[in-house]
Every structure is written in C-alpha cells, then in structure tokens.
C-alpha cells in the first residue's frame, strides 16, 4: 500500500486557491485586529477540504510543525527587538538620537535622508530588520519632534531598508533567491538593481517633494512639539554621548556578520547597564520594561509618542499572526496547489515573455497568500530554473522575480513575518506602506513590465547554460 500523500485534483486546487484568497480578503474587510484568528480559521477550513478530498491529516499536521519551526527564529528576533527597544528608551539611547537628530536634520530633507540613510545602512548591514530596529526607530522619533508625518517617515524608512535588503550580497534574501534559482550571487544582486534602482530613484523624488511641500507650510523647528521635546527629553534623561554606544555596538556586530540574536542581546545588555548607571533604573524596573516596554507617561502626547513603546509583550500579537500563517499555508502546500499552477504555466506558455509574466503572477499570488518569502523561495524556486532554461532566459531573471514579488511587497502583508515586523516596529498599519512606501509596489511593477516586454530580461544560449552550470558546480 502506497504511503505517498494524495494530491487534490486540478479543479479542487483552483478552488482551494480562490477560496483562500477570498476568505482572507473578506475576513480582513469585516473584522478589526483579528488577523491571527482569520488566518487560523481559514487554515482550519482549508485543511478540512483537503482531508475530505483525500489529503492525509498527518501530512498537514507535519507541514504545520515544519512551518512553525521555521518561524521560531523570526519570532525570537521580534521578541528581542521589543526588549531592545525598551532598554534603548530607558537608557536614553533613543531620546538622545531624537534630541540631536531633530536639531541637525533639515525638515525639508528629512524624508529624503531617512530613505537614503536606511538604504545605505541596509546595504552595509545586509538586513532591513536591523536597519529598522536601529536608525529606523530613531527617525520615527525625530518625525514626531519635527511635527512631520509618521506614516511618510515609516514609508521612507521601509523603502530604503527594502532596497538595501534586496541588493546587498550580505542579505539572506538575495543569497537564498540566487541559491534556489541556481545562479551567481553577485550577478543576482546587480540584476536586482535594474528594478530596485529605478524604484528607489522615484521614491527619492517623491520624498523630496513631500518634504518641501510640508516644509512650505512652516518650519518644524518652530512648532510647539519641537520645543517640548528639546526641553523635556534633556530633563527626563541624562543625555551624554555614551548613550549612543548600544546602536554602535549593534551596527558593528552586524557589519562583522555576527548572529542577529547575540548582537541584539549585546546591545540590550549594554543599554541596560547604561540605564542603571546614568538613568538610575533598577533591575526590577528593567525587567518590567523589557517585558511591557517603557510605561512612564509624561502626559505630554508628543513625548509619550516617542517613549511609550517597546517590550516583548508588544510583539505577542505578531507572533500569533506568524503561527496562524503556518496553519493557513500548510494545507495549500501539501495538497499540490503549487504543482497544478506550475503545470498550467508549462502548458500555456508559448513564448518566454508569457512564461515570465505567469511566473511573476504565480510568485506574487503565492507570496500574498502565505506571507513568507522564504516559503515562496523554497516552494517555487527549485521548480523554475529548468523552465527558464527551456525558454533561454538567464536564471538571474528568476532570482530577480523571486525578490521583486516577495521582499518588495512584504511590508503590505500583515500575516507575513516581515509585514508584521515592519508595521509593529514602526507603529503604522500595513496599508500605509502602499501609499507612502511606493518602493513596495514599484519594483514589482518594473518586474512585470520587464517580463511582459522582454526589456532587461537577459537571454542565454544552450552553451551559456552549460557554462553557468559548470561554474556553479
């Protein structure tokens, strides 16, 4: 008797795909703050259909366990970020960055510089998560001090961080994308620039226009909020240059390619020590802040917006979303939905352009449903290199498509690890990124245009394919 798991039929696979999209969209439209519940219930319903149609429940359960295992590290990272933010606030690290930042940076150039500096930092560190967790948080505090829009600031931070994440050879995203696409890492990163570069350039112009438009209505340094921040932060905290050591330590360790959890732990420990020495915090207070965030309200809204954040508990809801996303994605993964879509592409594509467009659509659809770029890479990536070879398209095109259809869109997907992290850390909704972080969809749009027109889609001969294979082996 065969132990191989049964897959659903083509009509059943299409039903599961359409149902999952409709259920999630409908659930988010009619409920508030119930993302985890919607994904969990949707996963239960999809699993029921799959089991009725012959998929073994043990296979679904095993897939859920494997997916949750893969989510453990992102969950630990977001918990450590929450703890680190709390200690950075109580130590005076975030307050001093805000205090001096709002005095140095011109309000009219603020959004532009936020995007540019985050792009540079992410290119150097190879991590959008680390970029957002460090200077991204500081820019959010500065925006409040200058009376500037926090959602536009979050969009600028996200756009810059995403660019660096996609194009840095030190980032895990291009490393994994080029690995599954079976192409050279540095070629893949350079090829990513052809969609990410124009997208970032448009964003920079957008943020310049937004900065000068807002600046024309009045200088942020003349606002009451600015003066309140300058007066109160220096009163509440002992602001001296030593308070800048925690982010310096974090950045240096990341550049040196140290593991992310020990890096955040070292920065957190240093911030805690500084908090006890210079701010008079006790161990008991530090423990409470690490768990629940900084909670000492000043009853001054603009100050409280900067300080009242952080703590492990602030990310518990995000952890629930990530685990529920695993329950949601498991029945789709083990019921054969992906195999049906790949077969459809294979049999209906007559040209390289039509094949590439369909791959863009499939990668985007799968990522939007599952929310996991790593899951998308793992599920689709290994199945597609041969298809690109057949149509004589260089595999670095596939690597770029995988990045453009996942990493770029990630801040807008609340049930994905990156989307949950971006929104939770920057304190905005995922929908805000669509409007104020145009990079999220511009690079995907360029990707689709290139696929449809053949522009910037590098072609190869059979001989070049063999040479590429030999080089990788």
pLDDT digits (tens, 9 = 90+) for 112-161: 999 999 998 888 777 788 788 878 888 888 887 787 889 999 999 999 99
In angstroms, the CA 326 to CA 329 distance is 5
Q: What's the confidence (pLDDT) of residue 215?
A: 55
Residue % of the chain over a pLDDT of 90:
37
Per-residue model confidence as pLDDT tens digits over 303-342: 887 788 888 998 888 788 778 878 888 888 888 887 787 7
Per-residue model confidence as pLDDT tens digits over 344-373: 887 888 899 999 999 999 889 888 887 777
Reply yes or no on whether the pLDDT at 28 is more than 90: no
Reply yes or no on whether the pLDDT at 436 is more than 60: yes
Q: What's the confidence (pLDDT) of residue 23?
A: 87
Q: What's the confidence (pLDDT) of residue 341?
A: 78
Q: pTM above the 0.85 mark?
A: no
Reply yes or no on whether the pLDDT at 3 is more than 60: no
Point out the least confidently predicted range of 157-161, 388-392, 446-450.
388-392
Q: What's the confidence (pLDDT) of residue 317?
A: 83
Q: What's the confidence (pLDDT) of residue 216?
A: 43
Per-residue model confidence as pLDDT tens digits over 272-283: 999 999 999 999
């Amino acid at each position: 008797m065969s132990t191989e798991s049964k897959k659903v039929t083509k009509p059943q696979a299409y039903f599961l795909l359409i149902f999952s999209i409709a259920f999630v969209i409908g659930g988010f439209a009619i409920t508030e703050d119930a993302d985890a519940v919607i994904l969990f219930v949707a996963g239960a319903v999809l699993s029921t259909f799959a089991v009725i149609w012959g998929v073994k429940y043990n296979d679904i359960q095993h897939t859920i366990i494997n997916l949750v295992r893969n989510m453990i590290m992102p969950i630990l990272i977001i918990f450590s970020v929450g703890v680190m933010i709390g200690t950075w606030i109580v130590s005076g690290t975030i307050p001093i960055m805000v205090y001096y930042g709002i005095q140095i940076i011109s309000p009219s150039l603020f959004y532009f510089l936020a995007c540019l500096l985050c792009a540079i930092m992410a290119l150097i560190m190879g991590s959008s998560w680390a970029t957002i967790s460090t200077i991204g948080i500081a820019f959010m505090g500065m925006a409040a001090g200058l009376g500037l829009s926090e959602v536009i600031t979050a969009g600028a931070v996200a756009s810059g961080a995403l660019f660096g994440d996609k194009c840095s050879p030190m980032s895990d995203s291009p490393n994994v994308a080029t690995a599954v696409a079976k192409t050279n890492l540095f070629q893949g990163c350079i090829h990513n620039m052809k969609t990410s570069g124009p997208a970032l350039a448009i964003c920079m112009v957008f943020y310049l226009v937004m900065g000068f438009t807002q600046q024309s209505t009045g200088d942020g340094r003349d606002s009451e909020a600015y003066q309140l921040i300058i007066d109160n932060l220096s009163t509440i905290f002992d602001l001296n240059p030593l308070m800048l050591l925690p982010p310096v330590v974090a950045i240096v360790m990341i550049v040196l390619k140290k593991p992310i959890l020990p890096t955040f732990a070292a920065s957190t420990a240093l911030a805690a020590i500084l908090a006890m020495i210079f701010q008079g915090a006790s161990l008991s207070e530090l423990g409470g802040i690490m768990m629940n965030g900084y909670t000492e309200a000043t009853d001054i809204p603009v100050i409280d917006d900067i300080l009242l954040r952080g703590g492990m508990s602030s990310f518990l809801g995000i952890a629930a979303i990530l685990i529920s996303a695993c329950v949601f994605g498991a029945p789709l993964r083990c019921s054969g939905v992906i195999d049906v879509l790949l077969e459809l592409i294979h049999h209906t594509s007559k040209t390289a352009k039509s094949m590439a467009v369909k791959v863009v659509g499939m990668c985007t659809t799968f990522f939007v449903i599952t929310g996991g770029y790593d899951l998308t890479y793992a599920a689709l990536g290994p199945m597609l290199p041969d298809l690109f070879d057949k149509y004589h398209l260089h595999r670095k095109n596939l690597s770029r498509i995988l990045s453009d259809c996942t990493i770029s869109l990630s801040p807008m997907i609340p049930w994905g690890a990156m989307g949950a992290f971006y929104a939770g850390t920057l304190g905005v909704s995922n929908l805000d990124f669509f409007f104020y972080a145009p990079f999220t969809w511009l690079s995907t749009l360029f990707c689709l245009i290139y696929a449809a027109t053949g522009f910037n889609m590098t072609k190869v001969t059979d001989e070049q394919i063999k040479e590429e294979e030999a080089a990788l082996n």
